[in-house]
Structure 1
Amino acid sequence: MHRRRSVTLADNLRVLSFRVLGPLRVTISGEEVGPAGARPRRLLTALVLRIGRPVSMPTLVDAVWGPRPPPSAVNTVQSYVSRLRRPLGAEVLARTGDGYTLWADGGAVDARRFEALVVEARAAGPHRAVDLLDRALELWTGEAYPDLAHHGPAAAEAARLVELHLAGREHHAEALVSLGRPDEAVAALGALTREHPLRQRAWRALMVALHRTGRQADALAAFLAYEAVLADLGLEPATEVKSLRTAILAAPESVRAESVRADRALDRPAAGPVPAQLPAPATGFTGRAAHLDRLDQLIPEIRPDRLVIAAIAGTAGIGKTALALHWAHRVRDNFDGGQLFVDLRGWAADPPVPPIDALTGFLRALGVPPEQVPVRLDQAGALLRTLAAGRRLLVVLDNARDVDQVRPLLPGAGGLVLITGRERLTGLVARDGALPIGLGLLRPDEARDLLARLLGPARVAAEPGAADDLADACAHLPLALRVAAAALAWHPGRSIGGYVAMLRANRLAALAVDGDPETAVGAAFDASYAALPGPARRLFRLFGLVPGPTINAGAAAALAAEPERDITAALARLAAAHLLDEPEPGRYTAHDLLRCYAAERAHRDDLPAERAAATARLHDWYLSVVDGAADLLYPHMLRLPGVAPDSRFADRAAAVAWLDAERVNLVAAVRAAVGPPATVARLADRLRGYFHLGRHMADWMVVAGAGLAAARRAGDPWAEAAARLSLGTACRSVGEHRAALRHYGAALRLARRCGWRACEATTLGNLGIVGQTQGRLRAAARLLAAALAVDRDIGRRAGIANNLGQLAAVYHQTGRLREATAHFQEAVTLNAALDSRHGEALALTGLGQVCHERGLLAEAGRYLDRAGALYAEVGDRDGQALIHHRLAAVGLALDQVAPARTHALTALALSREIGDPRTESAALNVLAAVYLRAGDRRRAAEHHHRAHDVAGAASTPRQQIEALTGLAAVALADGDHAAARCHAALALHQATTCGYRVLAADAHAVLARVAQACGHPDEADRHARADAGIRAATGYALPRGT
């Protein structure tokens, strides 16, 4: 059929122009030509939307009237077309098929020109980009296609153009910053973030622009503003924004505008890690051309508002993973946001991977610190969707069991998820629009090609009939073909025909003739297994007993009770036979079918006692190596008696690296509960310190629970007490105080029952910490004093040092400042003698805070500086946030407002980054005090309110009381005496109830000022005397109002 020629912009000297950015406007050579009337405008807008393409009559009718057109709709459309042709001409608006086509150049439409300019700017340098985007943004006179807001295709296109417009504004501002014009960018981005407060890129660009102008504190304040917007939705900033905040925090405190342009690190987008988790593709992949074409067709369907899902289903060994990885590697350049991969082990002998474990791995790969990974499935899924927003991600979910395992792992729109599994995930197809891709056996030519790739073309060409017979014997199943080819590769002199004869002589041959894939795999496995030397066969069988997904040579040597050098050779032999895979150097895994086969062989060929002994050796090895890591990382933490520790680690970094690499295997070893219960319980106990340091909360909960179950199976009250202690500390770390108290109570009863006094002291101390956090200070003091007495009685120096510091903290909060000073000083000395850097830093922090409240500001600064250096040395970011908070308070007391503001902002940023609500609320309060000192009462009130909310959610009353007292001071400065009295009275009540004497003094001081302002001298005098009395009794010496 002859295609009409598009009418160009200057055809016949008539220049057509269509404006759809805003209400439709049509001009010819600059003269507006209508159309008049809403329905003709809708009709022409629908034609412009698809300019140069035929538009069917049903589509035009829907555009004009929607779902309920009149009976005369078709005739009316024809009438409207006749009217439109008068100015446009029949050549431009022509009949095609059952509809019409608007033949005009795409450049006649302002939306097309706008898009072309924005896209061209992406590849341009900053000077050119600013010029192009200036022209593009001038075209934007309103949102696109408003005349067709009810029409689905037009609405979708309008939404796409709005996103393009916003991205163009962001790019324009970024280019201005690159050209050294950050002030212009700040103005533009300020407006953009107010209009669209959820635009991550805009906030990030605003932070950079503010930093470029030398306004570091304002850049941090912009981050906090964005964080507050997200917090209202239960979300957090993406990793790249947090990384930028960290870069700004690391910059000098004063940055001159003329010098910051040289800071190239901040000129680049502060992107978080781009994950690249795809395993290597299978060698020799062949065939599946139709399936690859179907997958390729998905790429253009990816849009910012849509998640594309494909589900590959087929029997075991059919090549689902090989297809998925081959295609994923082929298209990975289309996913600049990264590629995530997880083997869900849905059909392995071990339990499938729980969705929370898979999510934890994804979040860590996307840069989420372990302490910020949620332990609840819904929260972890929400965080994944937040991080995936705006990223073009490829997610491969391999070996899925069912829809329930998959659905929590789906990111938000804008990417592609590729799933493999044996079952058809019909629920995902029906509800989520997943594309089902069924995978069958290889065709004969594909099977022959695969063999040629694996064995070499010459060998297959020499025996084409035998190659076809081998494919038949393997039921055309890729996995069976690969195993058979690996066996033949080890014997280059053996004929393919001879190998086929041996395969058919196998006892499973009768079943394999029927082409059953499973039995074909069994026959191929049997043949490859039989060809192995004895030690390799034994190691392969024992691999079927390994609970984790991977194993290294050390673990394999323990499992087999053989020297590591011999095991290394056996592992290499198994990998060469394709019975094991080596996804990374020195780490081995296997297909789930092979795992099942190995386990079956072990149960068939090895005695139960031999299997139990192998499993016990593996768990003993894990326990010994973890013990060695614990000796380096947390030597003073209470532990159950164990085996001799493995001293393989040269330093702390090596110990952490090993634990990080083996974490999934260690968790599996505890959770599978196949090892000796006593060993499993001790392994769970040893991991407590690692999880605490790394804040691996989800794993900690799982392992501690499994450790408790193992302790009960072993009938070991010591191990049960340790498990309860671990569960209590895990719950306390995530703010679950009721659950923590329940577990600590059980641990205390068990420890006393079995006479384990060190555990008794540790548990009493932890109960005291919970009481301190909850504001039950008298109970906390009693508990910590009891813990200290037990530790002194048994001579446990590490416990004495720790509980001295905790008791000192309670004395500090109850106003016993002199006693707190003495206890903190003793704790500093003890921790230094024990070479416990972390304990020494904690004690110095407390000492600095007490000196601050006693008015010894120079000493306070020195102690806090020493503590900060120790926290940096051991990598404790919680402590670093706390130090910045305390230095802000000291700076405010010295009337050094600018440094105090910087420290407060740093403390707030760090505390939010690590997920510490107590320090966050404290930082918000001191920042509010800074704003009040600077005269910014509005921001002071906002921050105190936020501090009160955060502290309330975390059940930390001290920070709530400080917020109330601060709000009272703000209200007093505003002249709102009623509000000031209300806030201060509530603060006084809560401080008195909890026993916070210093905070009670602050509340009395504010109430005295309120009463004086209201003309009540007697009331003012009463509160002033109460304030003075507390100060005299406690040694509290800070000036009032600081």
Structure 2
Amino acid sequence: MLIRLIGPVRIEHAGSVEPVGAPKRASVLAALAARPGEPVSQAELITRVWGTEPPETVVGVLYTYITRLRASLRSSPAAIHRAGSQGYVLDVPAGEIDVHAARALAAEAPGAADPLANWRRACELADGTALAGIGGAWAEGFRASFAAERLNLLAGRYAAELEAGNHEAVLADLAALAAAEPLCGPIAEHLMLAYYRCGRPADALAHFEKVRRRVRRDLGADPSPGLRDLHLRVLDQDPALEPPGAGRSMLPPDIASFTGRDGELAELAALTADGGDSPIAAIAGPGGSGKTALAVHWGHAQAARFPGGRLYVNLRGFDRGEPVAPVEALGRLLGALGVVGDAVPSDVDSAGEMYRGLTTGRRVLVVLDNARDAEQVRPLLPGGGCMTLVTSRDRLTGLVAVNDARPVPVTVLSADEALELLGRVLGDERVRAERAEAEALAGLCGRLPLALRIAAANLAVSPVASIASYTAELRGQDRLAALAIDGDDDATVAATLELSYRVLAGDARELFLRLGAIPGEDAPRELVEAVSGLAERACATALRKLVSGHLLEEHVPGRYRMHDLVRLYAAARAERDLTAGELEAVVDAFIGWHFERAHQPHNPEETNVIMALDALADDPRSWRLVYSLRATINEGRFLDRIRPAILRARRLSEEAGDRVGVFRMTSQLANLHRVHFDHSIAIELGREAVEMATGLTAMELAPAKGNLGIYLSEAGDNVEAERLLTEASDLAAAGGNIRTLVIFTNAVVQVRVMLGEYERAAAHLHGVETRHPEATAPYRGQFRLYEAIILTGQHRFDEAIAAAERGLAIARRAGNGYLEAQCLGELAAVHARAGRLKHALDLHRVELASGRDGRRVTIVRESLEALAHVEARLGHFDDAERHMAEGQASGWSRTAKGRSLSMLTLAVIHNGRGRHGQARELASEALEIYRSMPWRAQEADALHILADAHEGLGDREAAAACRAEAAALVPA
């Protein structure tokens, strides 16, 4: 926030400006803001606002004003508090008030990383008349005092501007200020110096004479000693009056709208302090990121540090023409140092020696812009006591390693900096009025400074156009083509990227094109190798070149991505430069790589695959991509995106006569309906899939039968499910389809545990794991979970906990959030069955949070019901009902498992509230469902809850019979 005392008193907060209102109320705020954090007595406030003759009701009026001001400040960090019995204090940091902020900026300027930025911001804050519209003696005094203070701020700012060599840029402003303040000596001195440095000494002398006459007429005195001394020095053409690095200031003009980069500016400032005798900064980043602007801005701001001059040469390392040869660059640098014509050596070594000799010890800043590589830069490094800034799209790793250069990476702007840049070009008010659209525009520009400047420039020349309409235009057409300035071929994002592409050769260029041909946000190294068509070592070399050239980023270890605009450019180049056959091969490798990983326990590539399904919507091979989302479907994520992709891929497979594709998509559609709890449709589609697979091979028939078994189990038919799952396992084992055998181990274990066949479940698990150790290795965590499920059913609780904890540890090491949640759920189930309900409650809560965080719909549904049941058993009936209602809303109660567990939970709640008749009906109905499945452990639970209902109704005989029957179901 900012409390404004300069101009009309107002409060700026969260992008809005709130006028304070009546002048007297504004005066109260101003009187408090003049001394933030310090008590102001009631008497002093009254005197400042009303003078020596306040109205009789002044105390009440003051209180009213204070109340209204508190309301105005309520949503801000500032507050007005009582100070003692009769006084008030404004509680706000001084930096949140423009007057104090300006003072602080000026005080901090000498030691700041960018002193000139401090002075400019201070003067920006101080621009205007203080307490505008407020009368009274105190206000008039404040106004007059601040007017003098503002003049001092301006004098300080223009001194810094001149020190930075900006005499030409500020001359007009200085002339206007000197006309408005003719008796201000420092301003007169600055204007004279600016005239002199602009090659206009006659104007400097004329201004001195004008000031001398005015001072004599108005004050009856002579000009100040400083002004008189400057007059003599101008007459003598004193060389010391030349700007820092006079004759050697080659930097391009600074950009007035330079924005952000505080961290990078601070790094450069720190390098001057701790970078040794001859610090070198390697400013590296992608094209259009503002590397040159950063180097030039810092060079202007730090001019005082380099009295020997500021040299600049564009090496054209990334340009349409050839890079500048080192000997040619040395000729330009020597020319700036006064060596011209035949005096310039013709060979690199001799020219380099002369250059280093002329710069040694002279504190020169050398900016080597747009370097191709370290080899081009090394001959151009100056002598000792100088600083070098090198900008390049290459990382200049060799310069860092051999010449001790300090890397200063430059990436895209932050979200706030991007908005600030748009505001500086378009005006803050325009951006504030369409903030959401401006944020969207920054996103479409990838927060790349060049793209942002082009977009802002296009909007600036069309002041009636809205940001929203321009953003819609960018979305609706070729974005790279739209990010251009009409009539300026160089002012385009595409042209900038073209220069980076031109320097690529061989494998690096080929890899760039191939990566441009694949969809997705990023790619793991293994996928990059698969689509590259290169050997592993050659691919690694090409990758390093692309990363070094900032065309690719390794944003996390082993994963690579392109900036949004680079990706658009790469896709367009791939379409243009690769043949149809090459494009087909890249896409085929991309799809094949994902398809090979379809049976992994979880899919870290799911977001990229879903993007690819949109990009390859009409490709008949797309069913393989859909198939790779098996784990995603099982976890219940992105189902609204996946369903249309399944239907589309099945149709394409039918049209292509791809029977396997039709079968796989039918199976995935059935599984999607299972996750949606549409079990009747899932079973119908599952039977269709079995029929399709019968005409194919055991590779298809085994999973078809196994999937149908899962659907039947969840619908409540465990007997038929166990038969089908056993057949599927036997088929898979006989056909050598070990992967399918391993995947269906879970379902076989689950069904046999529900049937109470614990020994058969354990034998199957042990047999698969011991006979196929390599195939089961990726599923070690899952197998420990299956082991825990069996042990829980056998009431071997301590062993079950140990197994589930081993599975949990494996899941966490692997980053498998789905398995982690499953293990937490099983641990909770073990503790609940062992009677440790509070521990179970805590674990179910963690399980639920894990499911929500990972957007795992299936985990959330099941954990809600399990949590509700434990809460009911603990007597937390309201919580249980709330979680049960949330679980039922998700559709979980439409399954046999969900419906029966809901009934048992409600029965526990009814028993707890004394409604034993209702509890008996629900427990009896749940018991029948469990018997029909059958599910022996849950059957026993239902019998116990039914016994409690009978007990509550006074039927002890029936209660005892239920408990005896339940005991018979528990393993010995």
- Give the TM interval when normalised to the shorter protein: 0.3 to 0.5
- Whichever of the two has the greater Rg, that structure is 2
TM-score (norm 2): 0.48
Give the TM-score, by structure 1 length. Answer: 0.45
